[in-house]
Amino acid sequence: MTQRFFIRRKTRFPLYEINLLGAEDMQLLEVSRELGIGLNLREMEKVQNYFRRKKRTPTDVELQTIGQTWSEHCFHKTFKGKIQFNGKKIDSLFKTYIAKATEKVDPKWCFSVFEDNAGIVSFGKGYGVAIKVETHNHPSAVEPFGGAATGTGGVIRDILGVWADPIACTDVLGFGPLNFDYKKLPAGVNHPKYVYMGVVAGIGNYGNNMGIPTVNGAVCFDESYVGNVVVYCGCVGLLPLGKFRKNAQAGDVIVVAGGRTGLDGIHGVTFASAELTEKSEAVSRPAVQIANPIEEEKLKRAIVEIRDLELASAITDLGGGGLSSAVGETAKKFGCGAEVELDKVPLKYGEMAPWEIYVSESQERMLLTVPRGNLEKVLKIFEREDVEATPIGQLTADNVLILRYERVKVAELDISFLFKPPRTVRIAKYESPEFEEPDFPEPSNLAEVLKLLLSSPNIASKESVVRIYDHEVKGNTVIKPLQGIYAGPNDAAVLKPLSDSWKGIVLSCGINPSYGKIDPYWMAASAIDEAIRNNVAVGGRRIALLDNFTWGNPEKPERLGSLVRACEACYDVATALGTPFISGKDSLYNESPLGPVTPTLLISALGVIPDIRLAVSMETKTSGDIIYVVGETFKELGGSEYYRLRGILGKTVPKVQVVQAKRIFKAVTAAIDAGLVKACHDLSEGGLAVAAAEMCFAGGYGMKLDLRKVPQEASLDRDDFILFSESNSRFLVELSEQGNAEFENLMKGKPFAALGKTTRDRRLRFIGLKGKVVLEASVDELGSMWRKALSSEVQP
């Protein structure tokens, strides 16, 4: 027990000093645990030394502030720390791979990257597009509805935090199999179906209520997600770049606006940085916050008006770490100190200890700094929107953070100390695991395989999710998540954000967790390729990327090793394809009693299209059109849905031939711009056969395609491999007969071939390597298999 270290100060309110100046190692750790601040020994020692130098004991407020600021969630210790990897020294994964890729690509159109709450690229007509994707895995595991809802609310505030008006949301979700055996469920882990229904509803609840369309996303299923649900929430915003204010200075007033502060979400940060244990459900439920989207909607209106009138000098959201990280980071960013009177912060109920007020993660709050002369105007705007806004302190010139409660000084910390935690040094190692190439005879009934693939959870229609999100609100959704009369799955969403311009925003994503089980490097490479080709397929270009890592415990060398491999791929592929990273976020420590999460990298892609009238959708348009495949097919079925169907993982995952990929993307864009492409669909899970089937049933036409014409590796000697290989950088393109000469000219030097034609008879046929029809199926039947599978799992 460390009770003797805790000294109650004689104040009217609860305040403790913690006398750790003479504490020994074990005692330091004990104090860290008791306060729930999650600091390790090296960190606690640094804290101890700091206060020894100051010749005084720290208060609970101070230790909590340090704990929050140095947490994995706020500081990203792993990505910013040092790593020893197979004998090599890496000084910050983030700087070495992610930021460096952006530096190397160095595009002129990036307005702000990695600096603020969200990445910003220029859009034209003086506007910029801001984008951010957040992970909210841990809170969603414990309380699916609230966790997912507040995840969406949080990422929307990130967009508000760069003065942008949110115009679209995205969501990428990973669940355990919905038919998972209840009996195998460990205590403390919620069933995937419960998690699924809660998460999906929670995301819809927030976006819908705020009137922000949810336009793009993905849902994947994996056994490892049973104990570690994966929830990525994204948001895109629009801002006039001339109104982007970031010039706070000493003397500016700190204003907190929006919801009141309560006990909800206290210690969410340290909680997100710890592994989920059996006890999680019981002990951490108060760490999940209650969402109030209407509060945030009002907040948004006020913020947009304050932006337009240029009344504030800086803004940031209150997310992980609450006031402690928002105040600290704002002060640091502008080279200031700060004074805050914690008793001014409006509370939801009763009394809270000063440290609780400072670290609470209550939702729907934003922090602004306002030049004194504008304060009255700003407060009036909030009042008009029925939003509470309160000045709680000011920025100061001296680089010191001072917190008071009822005039008593409860914390005094140097900003320079606060933002210099000891660098973590971690060990990483990676060895390619041994896998075997499977050997099985080619199935005789390939049509049956195709039907099974279409109804497998990872491929089946996500309509039951898509429809409970409003994807039409704001009236600017040009290419929708489901397209055509028969609602096929589009590759990307296109928005037309400005009334007086035809220019569009293109949003897409890529995610391939199965490949990560075999090779994290090619998994990451494939995710990048998929995100980009989805974007290219509808007409997107000038693509910016976002990286979101969901990994296991980085303190385990092999987990960290695979993270390093994935980061290496991010650098290699992004630089080769000329697509910079502009924002990202990591969620580590995704481990449960069932084991670690399958390493899962989400790549989100933000592109533009100069004229939305050029946008291309995936459904077949008419009969008698030529169907081309662009890109080369290899014998790389490791981690494929086809193998998964057979219960095999395999050995060889799809690779990315970066030089060829870049040329293919460019050529497809040129063909779209020339107005030649009537439909375009990327080849991903389930390969050529699934992509062709989706195009058919989305448009209501058949196809007759010849597998002998597919540009392919020589060893690819089986029809099933050609049909179901998931090689990257491939598209199916529909073209009318007249356009084909021009198209072939554009494609010269790239692997491509005309495979056959669309047909009126609504049957999909493939001619095999031996010249006979090897797969034939009714398009309507394929469509209904695809549509029914998932929705019958979750609906009556």
Query: Is the Cα dihedral 569, 220, 209, 189 positive or negative?
Result: negative
**In whole angstroms, how close is the CB of 483 to other proteins at the nearest point?**
7
Q: Select 89 or 384, whichever has its Cβ closest to other proteins.
A: 384
* DSSP line for 392-424: EEEEESSSEEEEEETTEEEEEEEHHHHT-PPPP
- Residues near 115 by beta carbon (within 8 Å), at least 6 away in sequence: none
Give DSSP secondary structure letters for 11-74.
SSS--EEE--TT--HHHHHHHHHHHT----HHHHHHHHHHHHHHTSPPBHHHHHHHHHHTSHHH
- Rounded to whole angstroms, how far apart are CA atoms 459 and 764? 18
- Give strand pairing partners of 340: 393, 403
Nearest-angstrom CA–CA distance, 223 and 127: 43
Q: How far is the CB of 287 from other proteins (least distance, A)?
A: 23
CB nearer to other proteins: pick between 612 and 789: 612
Question: Least separation, in Å, of the C-beta of 659 and other proteins?
Answer: 32
Whether the CB-CB separation of 141 and 228 falls below 8 Å is answered with yes
d(CA 476, CA 496): 5
Nearest distance from residue 225's CB to other proteins, in Å?
20
Q: Compare residues 115 and 383 and give the one whose CB is closer to other proteins.
A: 383
Return the SS3 of 96: helix
Q: How far is the CB of 213 from other proteins (least distance, A)?
A: 9
Of the candidates 73, 267, 471, 681, the residue annotated as catalytic is 73
How many Å apart are CA 611 and CA 588, to the nearest integer? 40
- Catalytic residue at 191? no
CB of 418 to other proteins, least distance (A): 36
Output the smallest distance, CB 196 to other proteins, in A. 12
Residue 533 CB, nearest distance to other proteins (Å)? 18
* Nearest to other proteins of 211, 335 (CB atom): 211
Q: Which residue has the tokens 């199935």?
A: 443
- Nearest to other proteins of 479, 564 (CB atom): 479
Q: From the CB of residue 237, how many other CB atoms can be counted at a distance below 10 Å? A: 27
Within a 10 A sphere around the Cβ of 166, how many other Cβ atoms?
A: 27
Output 479 or 683, the one with its CB closest to other proteins: 479
| Catalytic member of 76, 136, 267, 471 | 136
Q: Give CA torsion, residues 326, 328, 334, 339, to 10 deg.
A: 100
Per CB under 8 A, residues contacting other proteins are 182, 193, 197, 204, 208-211, 292-295, 297-298, 384-386, 466-480, 482-485, 496, 499, 612-613, 615-617, 619, 621, 699, 795-796
d(CA 729, CA 687): 11
Q: State which residue, 431 or 500, has the beta carbon closest to other proteins.
A: 500
Nearer to other proteins, 30 or 463 (CB): 463
| Beta pairing, strands 400-405 & 408-414 | antiparallel
Beta carbons of 742 and 663 less than 8 angstroms apart = no
Q: Retrieve residue 117's tokens.
A: 């709450």
Task: Give the E-state strand segments of 610-718 in sequence order.
Answer: 626-630, 677-682, 702-706
* Helix (H), strand (E), coil (C) string for 166-196: EEEEEEEEEECCCCCCHHHCCCCCCCHHHHH
Cβ distance to other proteins smaller for residue 479 or 755: 479
Q: What are the residues whose beta carbons fall under 8 Å from the beta carbon of 40, sequence distance 6 or more?
A: 29, 32
- C-alpha torsion angle, residues 70, 71, 72, 77 (rounded to 10): 20
Q: Looking up tokens 């998460």, which residue turns up?
A: 199
CB of 388 to other proteins, least distance (A): 12
- Report which of 172, 257, 262, 182 is spatially closest to residue 218, judged by C-alpha positions: 172
Asked if 699 and 599 touch (Cβ cutoff 8 Å), the reply is no
Instruction: CB nearer to other proteins: give 585 or 681.
Output: 681
Q: How many CA atoms lie less than 13 Å away from 197 in the CB half-sphere?
A: 9
- 600-609/595-596 β-pairing: unpaired
The least distance separating other proteins from the CB of residue 188, rounded to whole angstroms, comes to 17
Q: Among all residues, which ones are annotated catalytic?
A: 73, 136
